[in-house]
Chain A
Amino acid sequence: DGGITQSPKYLFRKEGQNVTLSCEQNLNHDAMYWYRQDPGQGLRLIYYSQIVNDFQKGDIAEGYSVSREKKESFPLSVTSAQKNPTAFYLCASSVPGRGDYEQYFGPGTRLTVT
């Protein structure tokens, strides 16, 4: 089955620790995205990548970093510079240039930092 996987589903860290969230897709999509969702809120774009070895900041990139070394993978690192990292993180992918902008989402990772 094709799709997007995120692991782990739940992640707990102590304040000051860096953490990396995994996102893998086997849809052969060129573009990948990371969003943050807070309770009762919509999705806010952290970073996106339209092609391997290239990525752009979204609306709330501070305190986060990404890499895109492979088409299938787009890991997100949450650094200690992110002041309020507890949130639900969603990864998505799409096929740019196809004429529509539908994004396919993974199941999400809930990060709790205490």
Chain B
Amino acid sequence: GESVGLHLPTLSVQEGDNSIINCAYSNSASDYFIWYKQESGKGPQFIIDIRSNMDKRQGQRVTVLLNKTVKHLSLQIAATQPGDSAVYFCAENHGGAQKLVFGQGTRLTINP
């Protein structure tokens, strides 16, 4: 079946820098995308979502960009802080079913 994949399994950034986490998806019928943050030993937490009729959405310190032409999704985190260290997952929904398909995840590490 279709799956959501990530370009990089790990990402290290300096504290205060901006982070960009990428995600590729393969199902062109996907109409909803979501980013989750998962800290060690905990359940995923919602960060931001975007529908396929948008190409950009901003939240507090986070921006999600959607490029449907190349089936690419990215999460930008501004002024990265130590508390941003976690694994970040993208997920997609397609076909109208109330299901999400998750990518493998990217581990973000913040260097002091």
Interface residues of A (CB under 8 A from B): 4, 31, 33, 35, 40-45, 48, 50, 58-59, 90, 92, 94, 96, 100-108, 110
Interface residues of B (CB under 8 A from A): 1, 4, 9, 32, 34, 36, 41-46, 49, 51, 89, 91, 93, 98-100, 102-105
Q: Flag if B1 contacts A31 (CB, 8 Å).
A: no
Q: Flag if B43 contacts A31 (CB, 8 Å).
A: no
Q: B105: shortest Cβ distance to chain A, in Å?
A: 5
Q: In the complex, which of the residues A45, A50, A105 contacts B44, with contact meaning CB atoms closer than 8 Å?
A: A105
Q: Flag if A42 contacts B42 (CB, 8 Å).
A: no
List the 10 closest pairs (A to B, CB-CB), nearest first.
A105-B43, A42-B102, A43-B102, A101-B93, A96-B98, A42-B104, A105-B44, A107-B43, A108-B43, A101-B32
Q: Flag if B42 contacts A108 (CB, 8 Å).
A: yes
Q: Flag if A42 contacts B34 (CB, 8 Å).
A: no
Q: In the complex, which of the residues A31, A104, A106, A110 contacts B46, with contact meaning CB atoms closer than 8 Å?
A: A104
Q: Flag if B104 contacts A100 (CB, 8 Å).
A: no
Can you list 24 A-B contacts (CB < 8 A)?
A33-B99, A40-B104, A40-B105, A41-B104, A42-B89, A42-B103, A42-B104, A42-B105, A43-B44, A43-B91, A43-B102, A44-B102, A58-B99, A90-B43, A92-B43, A94-B98, A96-B98, A100-B32, A100-B49, A101-B32, A101-B34, A105-B45, A107-B43, A108-B42
* A96 (CB) vs chain B CBs: closest residue: B98
Q: Flag if B104 contacts A48 (CB, 8 Å).
A: no
Given A43-B102, A50-B98: A102 touches B49 (CB 8 Å cut-off): yes
Q: A54: shortest Cβ distance to chain B, in Å?
A: 12
